[in-house]
Amino acid sequence: MRHNLGLGLLALGLSTSLWALITIERNPPRTDSFGRLISVKVVNLADDLAVLGEIDPVEVRITAPLDSWSRLREDNFKATVDLSQAEAGEQKVSVQVKCTDRQVRVLSVHPPTVSVSLDAVKEQVVPVKVNIQNTPAFGYTVDVARPEAEQVTVSGPESLVSQVDHAAAYIDIEGAKVSIKQTFLLSARTGRGYEVLGVSLDPSSVLVEIPIKQETHYQSFAISPELKGAVAYGYWVSGVAVQPASATVVGPREAFQTIDYLRTEPVDINGATDSVTRQVGVDLPEGVSLVSSQRVVVQVTIVPVRGNTQILRIAPQIKGAPSGRKVLIDTDAVEVTVSGDLVALKELLPAEISVTLDVTNSKPGSYSLKPEVKVAKKGVEVVSFQPTSIGVTIQ
């Protein structure tokens, strides 16, 4: 080893150089801008100072093996400014950039320095305000919101903290029907309601209780038509309809305890012989009212009463008897059964029913003819007649 030490070191150096040369040829270095901006962090800042606003990010120029470029991300770089000697006010500070990948070498930083504005740290206590947005469901009211904490501490740069008037919780209660008890985030606000960024609130959220109650009770009831008087003799009410069939009323809950349905104002049908249609109001119990002004249409269908059947004996009449011929029939009366409206049957006269035997153009001889039975009274119709055929002789 003593005689060959020089040769051994020479061989080691040559092999190392050869390995480095081969490595560089296979994975050559690349020098370029990283291509993405790196955010700058503050280190060693005194407790009584705070940074105003954001620090501009920087761009770095690096050299690294080709295969390292595909693995690099923003979080591989750490850009910092040391503020251990800084004072309140604006100042230029050098940016230091390091990479977690040891094969990456940072060549330059652009810009090499950044502006940092520092302000003295301030704390103050501000009130908590709850801002209710929108409205609860129809028929519900919202009471005064009650935050669990009435004050919070705001801290940060003095110039920003001095702008904060209160901490606000914004709560949307649109369509709510039940009380709300929930924790909401707070935001620092100026007296005019603008948000102040860059400050901290302690606590950052607050438990808020918002009572929501039903001011009045709403309920829908069927509408029952109220009729007054009686229809004329021989007529009857075959049906009653109301449109709309129901209505929604509003009032104290206790007022609904005795309501089963709603009645209309009376519809007079006294002596009516035909259907009646009226537009009337709804008769409401004391203490309740309709949700909207509403009148209803009541339709009363009135029809004649159908009477019992009635039998009348009607003498048949000859029609078209040949001149100079004598016509004999073998029955003196036909029993006609009729039915119809009660009033029409009551007023029906025998003369309003005709039984006719038509012998027009008939020659002498004997025939069996079906009588033609007609009723001239409206509302009355023929049900049957006997006999259904009558013997006729023409001499």
Question: Residue 2 falls within a domain, yes or no?
Answer: no
Question: Residue 333 falls within a domain, yes or no?
Answer: yes
Residue 159 gets which letter from DSSP?
Answer: H
- pLDDT classification of 373: cutoffs 50, 70, 90: very high
How far apart CA 159 and CA 121 sit, in angstroms, is 9
At residue 47, the pLDDT reads: 87
At residue 133, the pLDDT reads: 93
How far apart CA 31 and CA 394 sit, in angstroms, is 139
Q: What is the mean pLDDT of the chain?
A: 88
- pLDDT classification of 64: cutoffs 50, 70, 90: very high
276 contacts 269 by C-beta, under 8 angstroms:
yes
Q: Is 137 helix (H, G, I), strand (E, B) or coil?
A: coil
Question: Residue 12 falls within a domain, yes or no?
Answer: no
Question: Residue 77 falls within a domain, yes or no?
Answer: yes
How far apart CA 290 and CA 303 sit, in angstroms, is 34
Among the listed residues 213, 305, 227, 238, the one whose alpha carbon sits nearest the alpha carbon of residue 265: 227
Question: Residue 6 falls within a domain, yes or no?
Answer: no
pLDDT digits (tens, 9 = 90+) for 92-129: 999 999 999 999 999 999 999 999 999 999 999 999 99
Task: For residue 258, give both structure tokens.
Answer: 């005795």
Indicate whether 328 and 271 sit together in one domain.
no
Indicate whether 29 and 95 sit together in one domain.
yes
**93 pairs with which residues across the strands?**
114
Lowest mean pLDDT among 46-50, 173-177, 214-218, 278-282: 214-218
Indicate whether 361 and 343 sit together in one domain.
yes
At residue 7, the pLDDT reads: 61
Question: Residue 11 falls within a domain, yes or no?
Answer: no
Question: Residue 28 falls within a domain, yes or no?
Answer: yes
Question: Residue 236 falls within a domain, yes or no?
Answer: yes
The residue-averaged pLDDT of 87-91 equals 88
Q: Is the pLDDT confidence value at 383 over 80?
A: yes
Tokens 């009355």 sit at which residue? 380
The residue-averaged pLDDT of 121-140 equals 91
Of 91, 111, 131, the one marking the end of a domain is: 111
At residue 25, the pLDDT reads: 57
pLDDT digits (tens, 9 = 90+) for 13-36: 555 555 445 555 566 899 999 989
Of 195, 214, 233, the one marking the end of a domain is: 214
pLDDT digits (tens, 9 = 90+) for 140-195: 889 899 999 999 999 999 999 999 999 999 999 999 989 999 999 999 999 999 99
At residue 219, the pLDDT reads: 84
Task: For residue 160, give both structure tokens.
Answer: 């920003």
Q: What percent of the chain has pLDDT over 70?
A: 93
The residue-averaged pLDDT of 194-214 equals 93
Number of domains in the chain: 4
Domain carrying residue 66: 24-111
At residue 20, the pLDDT reads: 46
The residue-averaged pLDDT of 307-336 equals 87
CA-to-CA separations, 353 to 116, 357, 390, in angstroms, rounded: 119, 14, 17
CATH of the domain at 144: 2.170.120.40
Q: Is 249 helix (H, G, I), strand (E, B) or coil?
A: strand
Indicate whether 267 and 335 sit together in one domain.
no
At residue 173, the pLDDT reads: 93
| Greater model confidence, 39 or 361 | 39
At residue 97, the pLDDT reads: 96
Of 148, 181, 214, the one marking the end of a domain is: 214
Amino acid in the structure at residue 276 = V
At residue 3, the pLDDT reads: 61
Amino acid in the structure at residue 175 = G
| Greater model confidence, 218 or 281 | 281
Q: Is the pLDDT confidence value at 334 over 50?
A: yes
The residue-averaged pLDDT of 203-215 equals 90
CATH of the domain at 321: 2.170.120.30
Bond before 203 cis per omega within 30 degrees:
yes
Give 318's contacts (C-beta < 8 A, 6+ positions apart): 327, 329, 356, 357, 359, 392
Q: What percent of the chain has pLDDT over 90?
A: 53
Task: For residue 219, give both structure tokens.
Answer: 């309920």
